[in-house]
Amino acid sequence: MAKALKGSQIFVRGLWDDNPVLRQVLGICSTLAVTNLLVNTLVMNAGLIFTVTMSCLTVSLLRKYTPMRIRMMAQTLIIASYVIIVDICIAAYLPDISEALGPYVGLIITNCIVMGRCEAFARNNPPWPSFLDGLAMSLGYSAVLLTIALIREPLGFGTVLGFRIMPAGFTPWTIMIMAPGAFFTLGLLAWFLKAYFPQVTEANKER
């Protein structure tokens, strides 16, 4: 059982020391696909942050009542419900983006990070720390994906959020829009960070 951490410590840990994406490159499935456009990434991240924080909060609130054997089922139900709510809200208020995102919003359910935090932290800790943990982890995750989007969109489309930022003569690197571009960008990012900030990627090995 981890010793009780202060709120701010939890927050920093989620953002940097224990950043889920950089440490293990986990949970990227659902969002990597939409990182070729910044606005889609932003919306997906908002959905993920909502889902993770609310799920962690709920799991934590219910932790004393949930029987051990069915906790995975319960967690899945909770997570899936929040994801559906996110999906409905995006469809209602951002219909164009909803179409662009397609099934990827639903895939937040299988995002390892959501389940991971619920399992690793929220079910053993009080609500407020769990909420902070969820928030920090999802923010850390979002930061990495936004970085990727900030590389892919300008290079692939020449725009950021739809505004042209590359000079007119720039030939877009179409490969950045397609799958290999995402893999290379994330791979290079992971390599860079692992080489120059090893404590980020190697810390807390017992986890």
Partner 1 sequence: MVQVDAGTLFFAAIFTNNILLTNFLGLCPFLAISREVRSGLGLGAAVVFVMTCTAVLNYLVYYYILVPLNLVHFRFILFIVIIAAFVQLVEMTIERYFPALYYVLGIFLPLITVNCAILGASLFLIIREYTLLQSLAYGAGSGIGWMIAIIAVGAIREKVQKSAKLPRGLEGPALTLIITGVMALAFIAFSGMIQIQ
Partner 2 sequence: MKKRLFSIFYMFLLTLFFTSLVSAVKLYNEDRIAMNQEVKLLRIVLHVLGIAVQESASPQTVSQVFSERVKQIEVKQRPLYIGYAENGETITGYAFPVGGQGFWGPISGLAAVDPSATRLLGVAFFKHSETPGLGARITEAWFTKQFEGLSLDPIAGEQKIFYLKAAGTGQAANELDAVTGATGTSRAVEAFLNRELDHFLKGIWPEVKKKR
Write down the least CB distance from residue 183 to partner 1, Å.
3
- Between helices 38-61 and 71-93, what is the axis angle to 10°? 140
Binding flag, residue 88, partner 2 (CB under 8 A):
yes
Write down the least CB distance from residue 40 to partner 2, Å.
7
d(CA 81, CA 75): 10
Write down the least CB distance from residue 113 to partner 1, Å.
10
Binding flag, residue 46, partner 2 (CB under 8 A):
no
Binding flag, residue 73, partner 1 (CB under 8 A):
yes
Binding flag, residue 177, partner 2 (CB under 8 A):
yes
Of 177, 189, 134, the C-alpha closest to 38 is 177
Where in 115-174 is the site for partner 1 (CB under 8 A)?
Answer: 115
The two counts, helices (H) then strands (E), for the chain are 10, 2
Secondary structure, 3-state, 20-81: HHHHHCCCCHHHHCCCCCHHHHHHHHHHHHHHHHHHHHHHHHCCCCCCHHHHHHHHHHHHHH
Supply φ then ψ for residue 165, to 5 degrees. Answer: -120, -15
Residues forming the site for partner 2 (CB under 8 A): 33-34, 36-37, 40, 62, 65-67, 69-70, 73-74, 77-78, 81, 84-85, 88-89, 91-93, 95, 99-102, 156-157, 174, 177-178
Residues forming the site for partner 1 (CB under 8 A): 24-30, 32-33, 72-73, 76-77, 80-81, 83-84, 87-88, 102-103, 106-107, 109-112, 115, 175, 178-184, 186-188, 190-196, 198
